[in-house]
């Protein structure tokens, strides 16, 4: 068994190594926006199916990777762009079309809960604590009370926090950004472990989307122009909700009806499978779940360990595994989503990239859908969201670009 884990790590290092090399080959861009819109393409051969080849080259590559990791102090953002796919083409090749841009500013530490709460309570353009389901779960709507007649795009934000922590009041600045940019922001709280399990969380995300569709017009939102973003565990819950609803799978004993049409589903650094490979990556090469790195708080860490233990290798909570049971082209209407946008960042040591890639593969295999894969170099697991909630221009612009693209 040890050998298998070692091979996984080597393969991951190999993949990172190819990325590091590719970055050096790409020209620089000045602006994030330019990078996002740029057509520049770089072809890289990254086929994860090509195991033999990978293993043959692994020793040399690991040496190179280690060298590159130590030499590579650039903080460049690299964007792999843009794949609007219709049919099953060679995904791996198409996914690797990176462009590169300038160094982002360093991420600041977000406010403490108390400071965030104070900002939240003093923020004006918000409707607070609207109950959206029968359990009394609440959400906030960020909107301009002086202009509720023009129809504005709506962005729902499902925060991350390892399914065990976080609170909507910490994301006021994200809601404020949306409001300032002439959007409507919807940020719910949802049940967290151990007060609920994944099906309860999925229910909350599902109800949030339904509530938004049915109620957002009174705040000036366009119900036909709703996007939803999930980060980390939030991305997992969004993906799981969309897929369960798209397939009409039972959740907490109730068959989910199709969701309203969504303009964009934006998934930032999400885990979509809880298998051995994921655990090994997440735990930095060990399979000891007692050392989960996604949270520093020992209490949260213990809860996360428990949760992952419950769902380890569970086919019903992994969007990838659910789709693997489906035949090619068997899902109709593209899950009722116009386009999926996947974002992954090179310095994410918590979630492996294969998580995003495998989900893309399964989505377009079962329901040829429009999607985009954005690969950002130099950012960690939470850089984008932390950048937004500390009011960094680059990240605010990046967030808006990603959701409106």
Ligand X SMILES: *[C@@H]1O[C@H](CO)[C@@H](O)[C@H](O)[C@H]1NC(C)=O
Residue from the set 74, 92, 167, 380 that interacts with ligand X by CB under 6 A = 167
For residue 135, what are the CA distances in angstroms to 99, 103, 189, 212, 262? 46, 45, 12, 17, 25
Q: Which residues, listed in sequence order, are joined to residue 105 by a DSSP beta bridge? A: none
Contact 245, 256 (CB under 8 A): yes
Residue from the set 53, 71, 112, 404 that interacts with ligand X by CB under 6 A = 404
Residue from the set 28, 50, 84, 88 that interacts with ligand X by CB under 6 A = 88
Tracing tokens 């690797």 back to the chain, one arrives at: 96
Residue from the set 43, 50, 60, 257 that interacts with ligand X by CB under 6 A = 43
Query: Is residue 284 a contact point for ligand X (CB under 6 A)?
Result: yes
Reduced to 3 states (helix: H, G, I; strand: E, B; else coil), residue 130 is strand
Shortest distance in whole angstroms from residue 201 CB to ligand X:
16
Closest alpha carbon to 360 in 336, 342, 338: 342
Query: Is residue 137 a contact point for ligand X (CB under 6 A)?
Result: no
Smaller CB separation from ligand X, 74 or 338: 338
Tracing tokens 């779940």 back to the chain, one arrives at: 289
Shortest distance in whole angstroms from residue 242 CB to ligand X:
18
Query: Is residue 129 a contact point for ligand X (CB under 6 A)?
Result: yes
Shortest distance in whole angstroms from residue 169 CB to ligand X:
5
Residue from the set 19, 137, 168, 334 that interacts with ligand X by CB under 6 A = 168
Query: Is residue 328 a contact point for ligand X (CB under 6 A)?
Result: yes
Residue from the set 53, 131, 291, 330 that interacts with ligand X by CB under 6 A = 291
Reduced to 3 states (helix: H, G, I; strand: E, B; else coil), residue 67 is helix
Reduced to 3 states (helix: H, G, I; strand: E, B; else coil), residue 370 is strand
Closest alpha carbon to 267 in 158, 346, 185, 187: 158
Q: Which residues, listed in sequence order, are joined to residue 188 by a DSSP beta bridge? A: 139
Query: Is residue 1 a contact point for ligand X (CB under 6 A)?
Result: yes
> For the window 206-245, what string marks contact with ligand X as x by the rule CB under 6 A?
----------------x--x--------------------
- CB contact set of 393 (below 8 Å; sequence gap of 6+): none
Reduced to 3 states (helix: H, G, I; strand: E, B; else coil), residue 224 is strand
Smaller CB separation from ligand X, 74 or 123: 123
Count, residues in the chain: 405
| Contact residues: ligand X, CB under 6 A | 1-2, 43-45, 88, 117, 128-129, 153, 167-169, 189, 222, 225, 284, 287, 291, 293, 328, 365, 404
């Amino acid at each position: 068994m040890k050998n298998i884990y070692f091979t996984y790590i080597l393969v991951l290092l190999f993949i990172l190594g190819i990325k590091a090399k590719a970055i050096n080959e790409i020209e620089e861009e000045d602006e994030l926006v330019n990078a996002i819109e740029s057509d520049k393409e770089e072809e890289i051969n990254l086929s994860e199916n090509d195991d033999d080849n990978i293993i043959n080259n692994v020793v040399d590559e690991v040496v190179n990777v280690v060298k590159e990791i130590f030499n590579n102090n650039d903080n460049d953002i690299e964007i792999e762009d843009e794949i609007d796919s219709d049919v099953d083409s060679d995904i791996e090749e198409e996914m690797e079309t990176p462009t590169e841009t300038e160094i982002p500013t360093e991420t600041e530490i977000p406010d403490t809960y108390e400071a965030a709460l104070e900002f939240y309570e003093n923020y004006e353009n918000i409707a607070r604590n609207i109950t959206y389901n029968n359990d009394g779960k609440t959400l906030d709507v960020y909107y301009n009370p002086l202009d509720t007649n023009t129809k504005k795009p709506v962005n729902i934000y499902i925060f991350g926090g390892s399914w065990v922590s976080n609170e909507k009041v910490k994301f006021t600045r994200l809601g404020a950004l949306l409001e300032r940019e002439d959007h409507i922001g919807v940020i719910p709280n949802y049940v967290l472990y151990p007060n609920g399990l994944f099906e309860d969380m999925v229910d909350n995300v599902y109800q949030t989307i339904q509530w938004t569709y049915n109620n957002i017009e009174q705040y000036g939102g366009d119900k036909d122009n709703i996007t939803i973003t999930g980060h980390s565990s939030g991305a997992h819950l969004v993906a799981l909700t969309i897929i369960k609803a798209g397939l009409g799978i039972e959740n907490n004993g109730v068959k989910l009806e199709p969701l309203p049409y969504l303009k964009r589903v934006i998934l930032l650094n999400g885990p979509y499978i809880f298998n051995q490979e994921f655990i090994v990556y997440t735990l930095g090469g060990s399979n000891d779940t007692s050392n989960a790195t996604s949270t520093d708080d020992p209490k949260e860490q213990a809860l996360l360990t428990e949760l992952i233990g419950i769902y380890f290798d569970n086919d019903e909570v992994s969007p990838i595994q659910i789709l693997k049971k489906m035949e090619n082209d068997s899902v109709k209407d593209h899950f009722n989503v116009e386009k999926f946008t996947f974002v992954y960042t090179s310095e994410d040591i918590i979630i492996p990239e294969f998580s995003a890639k495998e989900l893309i593969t399964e989505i377009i295999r079962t329901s040829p859908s429009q999607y985009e894969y954005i690969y950002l170099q130099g950012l960690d697991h939470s850089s984008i969201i932390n950048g937004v909630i500390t009011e960094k221009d680059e990240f605010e612009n990046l967030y808006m670009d990603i959701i409106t693209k």
